[in-house]
Amino acid sequence: MKFVGFGFLVAAAAMAGFQAHAADKPLIGIVSIAATEANNVRYINGAKKAAEELGYDVSVVDAAGSADQANAAIQNFAQRSAFAIADLVFPASSIGAGLDAAKQANIPVVTWGGGLGLSVAATNGSGAPIAEPVIQKMIDDMGGKGELLALTYHTGEVCRNREALMDQMLQKYPDIKVAKNEVRIPGYFEDGAQYANAWLASHPPGDGKLAIWGCWDDPAIGAIGSLRSQSRDDVTVYGVNGNAQAIENIKNGHMTATAWEDSYTEGYNMIKLVADIKKAGADWKPKAVEVPAVLITKDTVADFLKQHPDAVQ
């Protein structure tokens, strides 16, 4: 793929900077699927806070949605003798080469939304449990019938699991007709808007219950741009993750609901767990350490922000 060569150049440049301070602090390597996406940013910030408290150094590589770049980055962190590596959110099945390199170097790999499997030591941020309350809210709002546009993403384990859960929950509601479009990383805002435009053209106002669902907030926010440009207020919109833009859209009446994922705490907790994983060594048993989601709607957003004012910062 065209990103692979670039990924190795970035890794080589990072190696040079790392060697100057490798002896000072243990290194936590973070490989992100989209390091500028809001939820990834919150997780990384939580991880950095925990690392600061524990005296670890942190290096972040943005794999830009490419599993090839993610594997290359994990392999590079293994060569750099990292203390531990965090994968955001590539499924374990797509980073086998990286996991093997880390295993050979006796370096634990934890995942955020990547699930357990192969040699992964721990996971959190699993897609399905976080998405369940907002999917149920959407079904209830639609009254079990209507037309739904689902904006999906198959490279990330989180979105695949959320889509699978949605499909499972919708099996009981055959009168909800689903159209699916897969967005890209990068490009999810633009794709969300483009797919919404095309879908709206064949679903005029008065065409029954209409809804748009994003497997995370940003594609749904892209779709909101199309709805607003066409003055369409007859379509309910749902996201997952609860980023600041989504919460603002709920406050302003443009989004119906999201499920807030406390990714800062997920990142913080996971890095805190690393010391235990290292200490246990071969005796460590892989496990999930999930943080429950919070459903946000127009009726709950004010109270939510009183409890979590930093969610929109």
* Residue range 73-117, pLDDT digits in tens: 999 999 999 999 999 999 999 999 999 999 999 999 999 999 998
What is the model's pLDDT at position 295?
A: 98
pLDDT of 12 strictly over 80: no
Provide the whole-model pTM: 0.85
Residue 14 — very low, low, confident or very high, per pLDDT cuts 50/70/90?
very low
Q: Given this model, what pLDDT does residue 19 score?
A: 46
15 pLDDT higher than 50: no
What pLDDT is attached to residue 8?
45
Tokens standing for 80?
């750099």
For residue 97, the model assigns a pLDDT of 98
pLDDT at residue number 36 = 94
Please answer whether residues 260 and 311 qualify as being in contact, where contact means their C-beta atoms are separated by less than 8 angstroms: yes
Same domain as 116, residue 207: no
> Is 296 part of a structural domain of the chain?
no
Tokens for 169, please give them: 């929950």
pLDDT of res. 4? 41
- Which range marks the domain in which residue 164 is found? 128-260
- Mean pLDDT for the chain? 93
CATH number for the domain spanning 183: value is 3.40.50.2300
Name residue 18's beta-bridge partners. Answer: none
pLDDT band at 9 (very low <50, low <70, confident <90, very high): very low
The answer to whether 70 and 11 are in contact (CB under 8 A) is no
- Domain assignment present for 309: no
Same domain, 135 and 205: yes
Rounded distance between C-alpha atoms, residue 207 and residue 164, angstroms: 27
State residue 23's pLDDT score.
54
Distance CA 233, CA 138 (A): 16
pLDDT in tens, 221-259: 999 999 999 999 999 999 999 999 999 999 999 999 999
Structural domains of the chain, count: 2
CA–CA distance, 196 with 95 (Å, rounded to integer): 32
Where is the domain boundary, 243, 260, 277?
260
Same domain, 73 and 111: yes
Shared domain check, 162 and 98: no
Residues 112 and 132 in one domain: no
Q: Does the structure show a pLDDT above 80 at 278?
A: yes
CA 26 to chain CA mean position, Å: 26
Residue 313 pLDDT class (50, 70, 90 cuts): confident
Structure confidence at residue 5 (pLDDT): 45
Does one domain contain both 136 and 247? yes
Tokens at 123, concatenated: 């996971």
Q: How many CB atoms lie within 10 A of CB 310?
A: 9
